[in-house]
Amino acid sequence: MKIIDISRPLHNNTPVWPGDTPFGYSLKWTKADTGSVNVGQLTMSSHTGTHVDAPFHFDSAGQRIIDLSLEKFMGPALVVSMEGAAEISPEQLEEVDFTGIQKILFKTNAWKNPDRFPDSIPPITKDLSPYLKEKGIDLIGVDLPSVDPLDSKELASHHSLQEHGIGILEGIVLNGVKPGRYELIALPLPLKEGDGSPVRAILIDRNE
């Protein structure tokens, strides 16, 4: 069994959505000061690094993070290569075998510099959601900061995924991951009011 970490490391230079809260870590207390412990302080957006979106993020009447089923964030997953694609659409998945798969993760490698927020990304098309729903998919993951174009205000793909009961995992790292079948675990924090949550996302390869 091999565990593959597909989470973005968090540090004080972690790129965030332009204008969003920068990530910050500092020692609130030091062992020298307290005589016993170091205690850190975190400042961050709920959409920093590898994270999940709750429907409340783009729908004021939508579910918060605490309301989401944990089963949606763990289970059989398929990594599919979309390198070089301008967008992610059903036409590109016609040869994919979805048997026994609940989660699909798209490897675009379009976020070239991990220390810089990308200028553009290949979004998913709105018609991908009903297609994936028919295939039994309940979670989509992308190695990008969003499933929609970066300048989108309508967030059509976010809304379409919500309407079809498909969860959203963004900002995963798949650079060294081969396309294929894995088990995914990407659990959000139990944030009662959360519109999103950072996660520690891993893939389990039981063939190694």
Q: Which residues are catalytic?
A: 57
Report strand pairing: 196-198 vs 51-53: antiparallel
Supply φ then ψ for residue 33, to 5 degrees: -80, -40
157 contacts 122 by C-beta, under 8 angstroms: no
Question: For residue 199, what is the DSSP state?
Answer: B
- Structure token pair of residue 198: 């950072």
3-state helix, strand, coil in the chain (%, to 5): 15, 25, 55
CA 38 to chain centre: 30
Q: How many residues would you count in the chain?
A: 208
